[in-house]
Amino acid sequence: MSTETRDIVVVGGGTAGCFAAATAAGEDLDVVLLERKSEEEGGHIACGDAIKGKSTFPDVIDRDYLREESFTNENIQRAMFMNPKGENYDIPFQGEYGAVIDRKRYGEVLLEEADRVGADIHYNTVIKDVVQNGRVTGVTGIREGDPVAYEAEVVVDAAGALSLLQDKVDFEGTTYDTNVDYSQFCSAYREVIETKEPVEYDDAIVFKPTDELGYLWYFPRTDREINAGLGFQMNKPPMKLVDVLKRDLENRPEFRDAEVKDKLGAALPTRRPYDSAVAPGFMSVGDAAGHVNPTTGGGIPGAAKAGHWAAQVAIEAIADGDVSESALWEYNRKVQTDFGQRFAAMDLYNIFGSAHEVDELTDVVTALPGEMIIDLMGKKGETSLSLTEKLTTSITTLVKTRGHWRTLYDAYKVGQLASQLKEVYDEYPTTPDGFEQWRDRRDAIMDEVYEVTGAEPKY
């Protein structure tokens, strides 16, 4: 078995892995990125392709090149909720546009850029195990059919949802979050479809609820190329994803005689970010650390930040000759006090939804005026509701939602708890010493969430 020695080994060539490798290489560290796919297939990942709102990627690659090559639709101005029982609702993006990308080209550019700034990329490399001696010191696997070992000061796990590396590392005595199981993930499937005529919603990301607490999506890469997909949570009865999507496509006139250009499936986290994603010599980023919005599946901007921050912290730790859990801890704090707090708060709505049938939730949404939904989500429309309008719509809603008042009240309580949870995440500890006390405060709020919603504990 051949052995290579590097400063940093990054396992996985997705968003988080590429930004981690590019960040380290840009600071003249010896870094190798290990990608299981061939160079031809590199970057081909199942994804919704949408980036909701304005997102600034870390300045370690040529961001203009990335945008020019892979951002195919930068005119996403609204989200559309397709209501199976009533009118569709538009939620405008206030003051910012979203985008839809060509995910394969996006992934290819990230790999190109990581290579350009100095990272070695080893394709056709499948990792089988980790090497550890008091800390993680490397990985072993198969590269182009031959056994290979990589030694490093830090291993960055960017190996995706349900990462194999986490099954191999001995986390005993660390704070690394091992409270992970299949019920905190979803199974997803998407097709890229080219329609005969332009669609009417090329300025929108479109959502439609399905069974098993999932949703269909239609995200327009262009006015004729649509990313259409769906997912369901793994703690629900299995859904035949291909069949469900096919039935919906057949009922939509814009997809008549359309051409399917690509098909792909994946598992995605629908959970809060890992409480701690570091152990001695080891850091997890992106999907491998739950860095995905648990209600929409969006994870590209967070993964980019996480990969960048992980590499920054690892670079400093290596320079200091200390890659202990404490030395890598600042990465945890950066994540949790930034997008981590938002994703953890959104997870409460995911938990709330799991305690109710889709039909009931749809009935409630159907009864709410579109303007009220926008206000509830904190997204003002072109004109915010006046006091008189709010009173009028509130009275109307009370009448229409008769029989669901308890559900509305529970949703209100969950919103209050989500605000409290954000405050706790704002105070994420600066060292591992304060971790247990912080977790106790967080878990006390979670106990209230389970009591209010009646949901089964998720963690």
Domains of the chain and any CATH numbers: 2-73+96-179+271-335 (3.50.50.60), 183-269 (3.30.9.10), 348-453 (no CATH)
The least confident of 33-42, 117-126, 189-198, 357-366 is: 357-366
The pLDDT, as a whole number, for residue 385 is 41
Instruction: Please state, in angstroms and rounded to a whole number, the distance separating the CA atoms of residues 392 and 415.
Output: 22
Nearest to 73 by CA among 189, 190, 198, 197: 198
Element (H, E) at 109: helix 103-116
Averaged confidence pLDDT in the chain: 88
Q: Are 165 and 126 in contact (CB under 8 A)?
A: no
- DSSP code for 201: T
Side chain identity at residue 69, one-letter code: E
Using pLDDT thresholds of 50, 70 and 90, give the confidence band for residue 80: confident
Q: Are 43 and 13 in contact (CB under 8 A)?
A: yes
Instruction: Please state, in angstroms and rounded to a whole number, the distance separating the CA atoms of residues 248 and 52.
Output: 24
The pLDDT, as a whole number, for residue 289 is 98
Q: Check pLDDT > 80 for residue 256.
A: yes
Q: Which residues contact 173 (CB under 8 A, 6 or more apart)?
A: none
Instruction: Please state, in angstroms and rounded to a whole number, the distance separating the CA atoms of residues 14 and 45.
Output: 8
Nearest to 109 by CA among 29, 19, 196: 19
Per DSSP, the chain holds a count of helices (H) and strands (E) of 13, 18
253 CB neighbour count, 10 Å cutoff: 8
Q: Is 53 exposed, middle or buried (0-12, 13-18, 19+ CB in 10 A)?
A: middle
**Using CA of residue 369, residue 375, residue 379, residue 383, what is the dihedral sign?**
positive
Between the alpha carbon of residue 87 and those of residues 50, 81, 368, 369, the distances in Å are 24, 9, 10, 9
Furthest C-alpha separation in the chain: 75
The pLDDT, as a whole number, for residue 377 is 41
The pLDDT, as a whole number, for residue 358 is 63
The pLDDT, as a whole number, for residue 47 is 86
Using pLDDT thresholds of 50, 70 and 90, give the confidence band for residue 376: very low
- DSSP code for 51: E
Q: Check pLDDT > 70 for residue 2.
A: yes
The pLDDT, as a whole number, for residue 24 is 98
User: How far from chain centre, in Å, is Cα 152?
Assistant: 28
The pLDDT, as a whole number, for residue 286 is 97
Instruction: Please state, in angstroms and rounded to a whole number, the distance separating the CA atoms of residues 176 and 325.
Output: 9
Highest mean pLDDT among 258-267, 353-362, 363-372: 258-267
Q: Are 69 and 155 in contact (CB under 8 A)?
A: no
Q: Are 25 and 312 in contact (CB under 8 A)?
A: no
Tokens of 143: 């590269």
Q: Check pLDDT > 60 for residue 375.
A: no
The least confident of 12-26, 200-214, 336-350, 357-371 is: 357-371
More confident residue, 356 or 363: 356
| pTM, two decimal places | 0.90
Place of tokens 């090329």: 202
Average pLDDT on 13-37 reads 98
Nearest to 320 by CA among 150, 154, 136: 154
Instruction: Please state, in angstroms and rounded to a whole number, the distance separating the CA atoms of residues 213 and 235.
Output: 10
Cα 74–Cα 80–Cα 81 angle in degrees, nearest 5: 150
Tokens of 12: 């996985």
155 CB neighbour count, 10 Å cutoff: 31
- DSSP code for 135: S
Q: Check pLDDT > 50 for residue 380.
A: no
Q: Check pLDDT > 70 for residue 345.
A: yes
